[in-house]
Amino acid sequence: SPSCADDKKRRVCYYYDPGIAHIKFSDDHVMVPARVAMAHSLVGVYGMLGDMRRLRTRPATEAEIRRFHSPEYVDLLCDLTPESYANDAALRQKAEDHHGIGGEDDCPAFDRLWKYCRGYAGGSLAAARALVDGASDIAINWSGGMHHASACKATGFCYVNDIVLAINELLGTFSRVIYVDIDAHHGDGVQNAFLDSNRVMTLSFHRYGKITPHKDFFPGSGAINEIGDGAGKHYSVNVPLDAGVRDDVYHTLFEPIVGKAMEVFQPEAIVLQCGADSLSGDRLGGMELSVRGHAECVSFLRGFNLPLLLLGGGGYTINHVASTWCYETAVAVGKEGELPDDIEIPSHGYELMYKNQGNKLHYQTSTATAARKRSSSTEVTKGKVLEHLSQVE
Ligand code: ZLS
Ligand code: CA
Ligand code: ZN
């Protein structure tokens, strides 16, 4: 139960590939992998690297990536470079028409794409193995969490689905795995991969609905009535949210729903995708969580005392992302109470990036002082989701 043994120390392992600092989707892309390097530097300057086992790991192999992704798609990812994309018309056509990659769009063919994919997937696989081995209680890979990728297609900035690979690794040892996704977007790729499985329960909280009369918030899936198929019926859980949801409303839903899911499903391991685009002030998310509100999800799941895999995901205001993942690393090691917020972020190379947030880890959310009325739809959503969960046998 989440109420006891929370002060117990956990063995935490942490994966970081310094190569991530040099990856660029394009000059003006919203997805900035260097945010993970910023988070890593903060974790270092706050003295937490000594509290975790640093994983010795390697990039995922082609064979490991083929365990989920289709042969043609992996062939393409291996061959694709900015040069081959520019010069090989057949390859370019295959990438664009069949595999969601190309142009100036969401998933461009950028330099070192395959290396990037192998790097973050290798991190999530190594993290999953550390939990399987029993060597660690909590394993962290902030560069992972790419929840949209499907077996044969890149979508929504995600090329290789490291989450599906990691869950499959966990399923070799654990009978049931729960996947919780607090990214502002629906975790469609993970849900679809396990849609008819009763060994994986997927639970996504996400913004849902129209952003203009003709356009849905990406990816458009994740309605409350998507509950899974066949043997997996009731094992997909969706919590659609309105734009602007802040800590109070979010946690009116999160603890009761996740608590109920834990109770009816009785998982042996937990995977938490910590997409940071649900934070206030994100360039894409439109939600209003504070750093503490977001991290409360990590503390709550940590409290169940099960093997816990923490992954990154979205997050487009990169100083907010780095602050949050640093604080959540502190939650994992049980030191969040020791992170000083009365002093400015110490000098560590990236300190100038935090100017817009007053140089403090816990920045002020835009609605922190504005009173807003709580919508009755929150109670309706909660009731419907709990009703779905009560049907799990
Ligand atoms: O969950 O909404 C879309 C698709 C489009 C509209 C935008 N154009 C550029 C592409 C086609 C219909 N895509 C979303 C994807 C959001 C992915 C979230 C990933 C995750 O957080 C996990 C990592 C979207 N929203 C905003 C953009 N794309 C977007 C905004 C601005 C830009 C710059 C860079 C690239 C092209 C111009 C881009 C994408
Ligand atoms: Ca989500
Ligand atoms: Zn997202």
The model's pLDDT over 201-225, given as tens digits with 9 standing for 90+, comes to 999 999 999 999 999 999 999 999 9
- Take residue 195 and report the two structure tokens written for it: 């849609």
275 lines ligand 1 (CB under 6 A): yes
Catalytic status, residue 148: yes
CB 190 within 8 A of CB 165: no
Closest CA to 294 of 265, 309, 314, 264: 314
Query: Mapping DSSP to helix (H, G, I), strand (E, B) and coil, where does residue 213 land?
Result: coil
Q: pLDDT tier at 372 (50, 70, 90 boundaries)? A: low
| Residue-level pLDDT at 3 | 44
5 within some domain: no
7 within some domain: no
**CA–CA dist 105, 8 (Å, integer):** 46
To which H or E segment does residue 202 belong?
A: strand 200-207
CB 201 within 8 A of CB 272: no
Q: What are phi and psi for residue 308, nearest 5 degrees?
A: -130, 120
Report the phi/psi class of residue 178: left, alpha or beta, with left for phi > 0 and alpha for psi in -120 to 50.
Answer: beta
146 Cα: distance to centroid of ligand 1 (angstroms) = 14
Helices 377-389 and 247-265, axial angle in degrees (round to 10): 10
Does 367 score more than 90 pLDDT? no
Secondary structure E strands in 274-365? 308-311
Does 374 score more than 80 pLDDT? no
- What type of residue sits at position 234? H
Does 370 score more than 60 pLDDT? no
Ligand at shortest distance from the CA of 272:
2
Which of 29, 32, 106, 182 is the pocket-test mutation for ligand 1 (most atoms within 8 Å of CB)?
106
**CA–CA dist 178, 269 (Å, integer):** 7
CATH at residue 325: 3.40.800.20
Which residue matches tokens 């409360």? 296
Burial of 150 (0-12, 13-18, 19+ CB in 10 A): buried
| Residue-level pLDDT at 8 | 81
CB 334 within 8 A of CB 7: yes
Residue 119: CB atoms within 10 A of its CB come to 26
Mean pLDDT in residue range 189-193: 99
Q: pLDDT tier at 57 (50, 70, 90 boundaries)? A: confident
- Residues near 212 by beta carbon (within 8 Å), at least 6 away in sequence: none
**CA–CA dist 227, 317 (Å, integer):** 32
3 within some domain: no
The model's pLDDT over 297-309, given as tens digits with 9 standing for 90+, comes to 999 999 999 999 9
106 lines ligand 1 (CB under 6 A): yes
133 Cα: distance to centroid of ligand 3 (angstroms) = 30
Domain count for the chain: 1
Please report, for the chain, how many H helices and E strands are present, in that order. Answer: 12, 10
Question: Interior CA angle at 164 toward 162 and 167, to 5°?
Answer: 105
Q: What is the ipTM of this complex?
A: 0.97
- What type of residue sits at position 291? V
The model's pLDDT over 267-276, given as tens digits with 9 standing for 90+, comes to 999 999 999 9
CB 25 within 8 A of CB 31: yes
Which residue among the candidates 147, 148, 186, 206 is catalytic per the annotation? 148
| Cα dihedral across residues 117, 188, 215, 70: positive or negative | positive
Domain around 182: 12-389
Mean pLDDT in residue range 18-25: 96
| Residue-level pLDDT at 265 | 98
Least confident stretch, 137-151, 191-205, 217-231, 374-388: 374-388
| Residue-level pLDDT at 56 | 66
Least confident stretch, 41-50, 66-75, 188-197, 372-381: 372-381
**CA–CA dist 270, 201 (Å, integer):** 10
Does 246 score more than 80 pLDDT? yes
| Beta bridge partners of residue 141, listed in sequence order | 311
Closest CA to 287 of 337, 336, 253, 331: 253
| Residue-level pLDDT at 22 | 96
CB 127 within 8 A of CB 140: yes
Question: Interior CA angle at 140 toward 136 and 141, to 5°?
Answer: 140
Does 4 score more than 70 pLDDT? no
148 Cα: distance to centroid of ligand 3 (angstroms) = 9
To which H or E segment does residue 366 belong?
A: none
Could you identify the atom of ligand 1 that is nearest to the CA of residue 316?
A: 21
Does 2 score more than 50 pLDDT? no
Which residue matches tokens 């109470």? 337
Ligand at shortest distance from the CA of 222:
2
- What type of residue sits at position 12? V
**pLDDT, averaged across the chain:** 95
The model's pLDDT over 81-122, given as tens digits with 9 standing for 90+, comes to 999 999 999 999 999 999 999 988 999 999 999 999 999 999
